[in-house]
Amino acid sequence: MSKKDKLIDRLLKKPKDFTFDEMESLLSYFGYRLKRSGTGSGVKFIKDGSNEVINFHKPHPSGTLKRYVMDQVIEKLRKDGLL
């Protein structure tokens, strides 16, 4: 099982300790690149070669994502046929 497959499996289980860094790695496998949105904690992941966007707030101080963020990302990836 590849690292990408392990991260997908982990995301779908929606663990309480899924980190922003793990999400950034996973989205990069699908062609998304991180773009910071100004000076706040908002971040955007923009898909290369398209106008597809996933945006949410970067968690702080812990770096652990909230469940609703994982739900939003899973829904978006499924809608786009990536999961």
How many beta carbons lie within 10 A of that of residue 54, not counting itself?
19
**Where along the chain do its domains lie?**
3-77
Alpha-carbon span 50 to 65, nearest angstrom? 25
Would you state the pLDDT for residue 60?
85
Q: What is this structure's pTM? A: 0.88
Architecture of domain 3-77: 2-Layer Sandwich (3.30)
Place of tokens 């939003």: 72
Question: If you average pLDDT over every residue of the chain, what do you get?
Answer: 91
Percentage helix, strand, coil for the chain under 3-state DSSP, each rounded to 5: 40, 20, 35
Q: Token pair for residue 54?
A: 């996933």
Would you state the pLDDT for residue 51?
85
Confidence of residue 69 (pLDDT cuts 50, 70, 90): very high
